[in-house]
A and B are shown apart, each in its own frame.
Chain A
Amino acid sequence: MAGLVTTFGAGAMTNSIGEIRDADFLFVIGSNTSEAHPIIAMEMKRAVHRGATLVVADPRAIWMTNIADRHLRLNPGTDVALLNAMAHVIIEEGLTDEDFIASNTDHFESVKAAVAAYPPERGEEITGIPAEQIRAVARQYASTRKAGIYYTLGITEHSHGTDNVYALSNLVLMTGHIGHASMGLNPLRGQNNVQGANDAGASPVFFPGYQRVDAAGIVDKYEASWGTELSRTPGLNLNEMMKVAGSTLKAFFIMGEDILLSEPNVSHLEEGLNDVEFVVLQDLFLNETARFADVIFPAACFAEKEGVFTNSERRVQRVRKAVEPPGQARADWEILVALANACGADWHYESPAQIYDEMVKDAPNFAGISHARIDERHEGLQWPCPSAEHEGTRFLHKGGILRGRGQFQAVEYRPSLELACEDYPLVMSTGRTLYHYNAATQTRRDPGTDEKQPEAFIEMHRFDAKKRGLADGDMAEIRTRRGRVECRVIVSRQVQKGCIWMPLHFAEARANLLTNDAGDAVTGTAEFKVCVAEVSRVQSAAPVDRSVDRSVDRFPGSYYSEGGAH
């Protein structure tokens, strides 16, 4: 989100989910929308049924490519080359919005100079997408007024993730596709409350409401509010914390995350955790990280507590208590209050509503939001919402860019950190599936989602499978420079030759033993989406039972296995 804060002044979806249905051009890049955000995909389907043009840019064929007008099947990690080439075409053909650029933006000249070196033919060389297609999409995007861009971790989880966001922002700024309904730049958030956690200041550089911890006026305000002295040095981001676990970091407090299942290059992290002196966890279930925990607090789940989640479209919505937590489990906020007081603080909070009121008091963008107002309205409130009379904000940048002027940021294509080589000839990417969620601690405890997708797998092109003597359903070993796992192979039409894809949900074949923890220079986000790998057959594995009916997919309903859809 740091990228968007730089270019636009706010790290969030510019538009509302309900506006997608009215868009005329949808550019979906690095988002497997129908699996990761099924409800947003429904809105996109609705737009397509209405006649909108859908272009999907993704190395992998996904469900959405079925209904797309065009699938730009770019080589993994070459997004900047594609986007710069599109910008090149838009400038070359005079499709820019000069009035918007002049009155709302800075530094267009630098981008103009940078993308001059990216004619579509060079784009084709790097991305593998025919130059004519790049031209056509650029023209369509630039000349359609209601044109929206939608992206997720396929854009950000790269060593050049922030560059990718800059390159997208450049397209938006040069065409002026912003500040109205159904157009703009929309990061779709992966977790129920990623937006809300960022908004609340769970960040090494920001207090609540994106107010910097090293800005004197801001720190003074919080010191006065909280009645205590505060550190003015930005802290470590998550990726940095994982790297110095055990060396500089000697204790962790971890709420609701299994770092050993979710963070990249986990074998390095495990070594580090051995040297960490103290770990406190609070969670619903005993997780992998619990092996290193000294104290574990049992927490309540979303159905057992009050509070708010903020969704992708900046909508603050209520979480309401329906049942009591099991045993002695308590809501996370109650545990945090008790822990702070045990550490000598003097906190008195009776309810999440009261905590929320304290938070918005010092965060102007949320000042008009309260539990009481949300309860009254039945549809949440979208920030910015600066006062109790304000109705919330459906789309951002109406009548001008939030930060004053939109900032063009020239970017150059940089290859991913790992490139296919003799020892590791395959490029591996990771992602989510429809039937599981993150570490799958919740979805794998449900008989239905677990039956639909019971075990770990990789998808592999038939050519690569044949070369390695692998058949659909075989067990295989996947190796990268960091580790190895075993799982099943699906011979798939979904991935291209030379690429494999692996879901991140399965504890028995942890994708993060394999992935690269080298991070983006700005955000620290790790390069989950590109690393190199080799796959070989596991000889000892029991052969697949060929007596089962192979007309029915091993992974039932898996659209892209060679068996095809029914």
Chain B
Amino acid sequence: MGKTLELTLNGQTLSFGEGDTILDVAGRAGEEIMTLCHDPRLKPVGACRTCLVEIDGWRRLAPSCATKAEAGMRITTHNERIDRHQKALLSLYLSDSVSEEATHDTADASQLHSWAARVGAATDWPHLDSQRFERSDDRNPYVQFRADRCILCARCTRYCAEVESVSAITLAGRGSKTTIATTDARSLLDTSCELCGGCIDVCPTGAMTEKKPLAQRLKPARMLDKVRTTCNYCGVGCQMDLNVDRAAHQGRGQVVKISSPETGVAPNDGNLCVKGRFAYQFIDHQDRLQVPLVRGEDGELHEASWEEALQAAARGLQGVAKRHGADSLGFISSSRCTGEENYLVQKLSRAVFKTNNVHQCSAT
């Protein structure tokens, strides 16, 4: 990094490191700048032009996401000229997208509409009716592209290329027909797509959206509670938000969607994979065990009360220990269960049954 570099932003003197963009510097100083196409995981492209700032001595406004900070720069992030530019820009985006009400069925509140409301963008400009192609017959079960909401910020295609690195979706076509497409308009299932759903997460307009909540007419995400937890699949331990409809299932609650945490949160930096994001339907599956079962005299498993089942289990285990000794028992704990539960299994084995025959299912 070497010597300290400084610039002035809204009259404030700020230091920065080599390679920082103006947006990085502003972000650290707590100055909010509007962005749509920006994502810290992606190379900046300056496509959406919402983050323009004024730099003394520069004739044109500059995209703060793609402009490197330079020593001595004098930068303004809010003034009449910038406000006018942002208002016109967002009014244009709105005329190429759907109304705010139309986004209410989707998952998360559209960033486009919330910014538009904040800058007072016009909602009554003539609608552009862009002829964007969408794959309405794509049979993939997770991701739906709704072309009428897309503003071509290309966050999804860049995420697909730069982070997931599969380039299953790309920009295709020209002019007002430009769209987000797959090779030969194939279903995502028949492409290199790995169904990570990152395109849904990065989309600022709700054009990339999750199919399941739409198809099942579940409540939109803004009416759901988010519970931050740790994924139950592999050993990466991704942080994720369970989106819960509290009233569903007679008040038991239902997980209706899983979303990423914000970028920068360890260990997954806002990324999830197909299993973490989508494979949660087992939670509500009809095959879930709901009552204790005890094997009867007839050799079949029968439903039992908790008390009966606990007594039967205790009798059975203690009987074997008595007949064959403590080391005739084996306790198999689970790497799928919590640390506390594993602690209790080994304590049960060691302190109650006096054996060290305890291991977990995947000790290597």
Contacts and interface: CB of A to CB of B under 8 A. Distances in A.
Given A324-B253, A332-B341, A198 B360 contact: yes
Nearest to A333: B341
B67 interface: no
A326 B288 contact: yes
A557 interface: yes
A35 B142 CA distance: 18
A312 B271 contact: no
Chain A CB count within 10 A is highest, among B236, B314, B349, for B236
A284 B290 CA distance: 9
Contact of A248 (B186, B290, B327): B327
B364 A251 contact: no
Q: How big is the A interface, by class?
A: 35 or more
A226 B196 contact: no
A42 B270 CA distance: 11
A236 B306 CA distance: 30
Chain A CB count within 10 A is highest, among B292, B311, B319, B343, for B343
Contact of A198 (B242, B341, B363): B363
Interface in B187-202: 187, 189-196
Interface in A267-292: 277-278, 280, 283-286, 290
Chain B CB count within 10 A is highest, among A67, A326, A344, for A326
B351 interface: yes
Given A278-B317, A295-B309, A320 B228 contact: yes
Given A256-B337, A336-B341, A448-B195, A37 B252 contact: no
B295 A293 contact: yes
B344 A238 contact: no
A323 B234 contact: no
Interface stretch (B15-23, B70-78, B147-155, B260-268): B260-268
B341 A311 contact: no
A324 B320 contact: no
A521 interface: no
B283 interface: yes
A6 interface: no
Contacts of A368: none
Nearest to A262: B361
Given A196-B339, A236-B330, A342 B360 contact: no
Given A157-B364, A301-B282, A446-B278, A452 B289 contact: no
Interface string A333-348: 1001111101111000
Contact of A317 (B141, B230, B279, B336): B230
B312 interface: yes
Contact of A379 (B251, B266, B340): B266
A157 B294 CA distance: 36
Nearest to B184: A566
23 contacts: A17-B236, A192-B230, A193-B342, A196-B339, A197-B335, A197-B339, A202-B363, A203-B346, A257-B336, A293-B295, A313-B267, A323-B255, A324-B251, A324-B253, A330-B306, A331-B341, A336-B344, A345-B348, A380-B266, A442-B232, A443-B275, A556-B189, A559-B192
Contacts of A566: 183-184, 186, 190-192
A451 B333 CA distance: 31
Interface residue SS majority, chain B:
mixed
Interface in A355-407: 355-356, 358-359, 378-380
Interface stretch (A107-115, A122-130, A183-191, A423-431): A183-191
Interface string B152-191: 0000000000111100000000000000000110110111
Contacts of B191: 557, 566
A284 B282 contact: yes
B116 interface: no
A409 interface: no
Nearest to A317: B230
A252 B232 CA distance: 25
Contacts of A200: 339-340, 342-343, 346
B363 A238 contact: yes
B244 interface: yes
Given A251-B317, A342-B310, A445-B281, A45 B163 contact: yes
B122 to A, nearest CB: 39
B336 A252 contact: no
A349 B355 CA distance: 22
A195 B339 CA distance: 9
B229 A339 contact: no
A378 B229 CA distance: 10
Contacts of A198: 360, 363
B294 A311 contact: no
B323 A311 contact: no
Given A197-B334, A299-B289, A320-B227, A202 B329 contact: no
Contacts of B252: 323-324, 326
B289 A202 contact: no
Contact of A305 (B312, B338, B363): B338
Contacts of A153: 364
Given A17-B267, A251-B316, A323-B253, A237 B229 contact: no
Contacts of A252: 329-332
A454 to B, nearest CB: 11
Contacts of B219: none
A18 B347 contact: no
Given A189-B235, A296-B293, A337-B344, A203 B358 contact: yes
B316 to A, nearest CB: 4
Interface in A432-478: 434-435, 437, 441-443, 445-449, 451-452
A257 B363 CA distance: 13
Interface in A146-199: 153, 156-157, 161, 188-199
B324 interface: yes
A233 B352 contact: no
Nearest to B318: A343
Given A280-B317, A449-B279, A336 B358 contact: no
A322 interface: yes
A82 to B, nearest CB: 20
Contacts of A358: 343
Nearest to A528: B364
